[in-house]
Amino acid sequence: MEGARNPDAVRHAELVVLTVPACGHREVLRAIAPHVRGRVVVDTCVCHHHARPGVWVGPAEGSAALRVRRALPPTAAVAATLHAVSSRTLRDPARFPPGDVPVAADGPASLQAAAHLLDELGLPWVDAGGLEVAAVLENLAALLAALSDRHGVHRPAARFLGLPAGGSKPAADGDRPPALSHRGWPPSPRA
Q: What angle do CA 85, 160, 165 make, to 5 degrees?
A: 95
Question: From CA 59, how far away is CA 46, in angstroms rounded?
Answer: 10
* Domain edges within the chain: 6-175
* Band of pLDDT at residue 22, cut at 50, 70 and 90: confident
pLDDT at 65 over 80: yes
Is residue 40 within 8 A of residue 109, CB to CB? The reply is yes
Rg of the chain taking only CA atoms, in angstroms: 16
DSSP state of 75: T
Mean pLDDT across 112-124: 90
Q: Select the more confidently predicted residue: 22 or 68.
A: 68
Handedness of CA 149, 19, 61, 108 (dihedral sign): negative
6-175: CATH, from 2.40.30.10, 3.40.50.720, 3.30.2130.10, 3.30.1330.200: 3.40.50.720
Which pTM was predicted?
Answer: 0.80
Q: Which residue, 40, 176, 53, is CA-closest to 117?
A: 40
Question: From CA 14, how far away is CA 10, in angstroms rounded?
Answer: 8
Rounded to the nearest 10°, the torsion over CA 58, 59, 65, 71 is: 180
Question: From CA 99, how far away is CA 112, in angstroms rounded?
Answer: 19
Tens of pLDDT, residues 37-53: 999 999 999 876 666 66
